[in-house]
Amino acid sequence: MKKIKVFAPATVANVCCGFDVLGFAVDAPSDEVILTLRSQPGLIIKEIKGDGGRLPLDPTRNTAGFAIQSYLNHLKSFQGVEIELIKKLPLGSGMGSSAASAVAALVAINYLLDEPLTRKELVPHAMEAERMACGSAHADNVAPGLLGGFVLIRTYEPLDIIRVPSPQELYCTLIHPHLELKTADSRRVLRETIRLKDAVTQNGNIAALMIGLAQHDYSLIGRSLCDVIAEPIRSVFIPGFEEIKRKVNDTGALGFGISGSGPTVFALSKERLTAEKVGDITVQHFSELNLPSDVYVSTINQEGARLAE
Ligand code: HSE
């Protein structure tokens, strides 16, 4: 019996100025998938733990099952697979929960079938799972989940994915207020068109962020972490967002924003101590609004999803 366990990391999509084109992976938290090859064809989701019974066991409606089916179709394979999911990432949180299931499942099946595809070649199958889950095949969670580090999607057609070098000393704080936002809903509120002025600001920031990361220029990273497109609209769903942002900026963190489609917020800091301070301040802020929250402080994950030893 061939069986494997894979961990897939939480991911922060957009990173302020890179709506749909930039994301990074963190070392913790992560989701787990256990995959077993079956002698009969067909996909079965045997069990899902940690989701409170909310995720579908139907493999055609679950991102893990959907991604594996897309992968097997591509290989023209009728391999049967049994899937177990252990969800640690909260659902609808903006931490790339749906992406993590797809990513872990793809890395696991590819390993069990002796790696016919590269990590990069797995990306389109994970994107199809995202399309099924929220109506949009964005890659800014799945690509960093598969490749690790910061990943830029230069174009979607054709898919051109670039791993962006980043400094070793960089800490991410993720604060998840106990609210749930469906990605499809927080995409629906965005405008179809943007002002030229905003496009100019956003372009300048994303380009500068790439240089800041590659050259380890922390000041430039900090100056570039702003979003004039999605944040002004989506931040209304996060209680006291502007006030938290002011408080976080006062800690000396490099920057602060919404993780993916929210409601999780994130900050990047040069020192772990600052990253922890950001967590304390933000948790305190939410608690004053009677909103419980969880905080995770992590280094940047450089390898993407990994096999259990
Ligand atoms: N770029 C996507 C969005 C990420 O902001 O809608 C969703 O996690």
DSSP single-letter state for residue 235: G
pLDDT over 90 percentage in the chain: 99
| Residues 88 and 29: beta-carbon distance below 8 Å | yes
Q: Residue 240 burial by CB count (10 A; 0-12/13-18/19+): exposed, middle or buried?
A: middle
Sign of CA dihedral 234, 240, 246, 250: negative
Q: How far apart are CA 259 and CA 265, in angstroms?
A: 5
| CA of 39 relative to ligand 1 center, distance in Å | 38
Residue of the CA atom closest to atom 4 of ligand 1: 260
Alpha helix (H) residue ranges in 113-179: 119-134, 142-147
- Could you read off the pLDDT of 19-53 as tens digits, one per residue? 999 999 999 999 999 999 999 999 999 999 999 99
Start-to-end C-alpha separation, the chain: 17
pLDDT at 1: 67
| CA of 260 relative to ligand 1 center, distance in Å | 4
Residue of the CA atom closest to atom 3 of ligand 1: 261
- List domains and CATH numbers for the chain: 3-165 (3.30.230.10), 171-299 (3.30.70.890)
**In angstroms, what CA-CA distances link 24 with 42, 98, 119, 256, 297?**
33, 15, 15, 14, 14
Residue with tokens 């924003």: 257
- Would the CB of 156 count as within 6 Å of ligand 1? no
Instruction: State which of 136, 188, 189, 227 you would mutate to test the pocket of ligand 1, scoring each by most atoms of that ligand within 8 A of its C-beta.
Output: 136
Rounded average pLDDT over 139-149: 98
Token digits of residue 4: 């494997």
| CA of 14 relative to ligand 1 center, distance in Å | 7
| Residues 65 and 104: beta-carbon distance below 8 Å | no
Residue of the CA atom closest to atom 8 of ligand 1: 260
Rounded average pLDDT over 44-65: 96
pLDDT at 120: 98
pLDDT at 309: 80
| Residue 96 neighbours by CB under 8 Å, 6+ apart | 10, 11, 12, 13, 23, 89, 141, 142, 145, 260
Q: How far apart are CA 252 and CA 270, in angstroms?
A: 9
| CA of 28 relative to ligand 1 center, distance in Å | 19
**Beta-strand relationship, 43-49 and 80-86:** parallel
| Residues 140 and 153: beta-carbon distance below 8 Å | yes
- Would the CB of 187 count as within 6 Å of ligand 1? yes
pLDDT at 79: 98
Q: Centre a 10 Å sphere on the Cβ of residue 230 and count the other Cβ atoms it contains.
A: 25
- Would the CB of 93 count as within 6 Å of ligand 1? no
- Could you read off the pLDDT of 78-95 as tens digits, one per residue? 999 999 999 999 999 999
With b for 16 or more beta-carbon neighbours within 10 A and e for fewer, the 183-194 pattern comes to beebbeeeeeee
Give the distance from CA 239 to its chain's centroid.
22
- Would the CB of 183 count as within 6 Å of ligand 1? yes
Token digits of residue 245: 């942002």
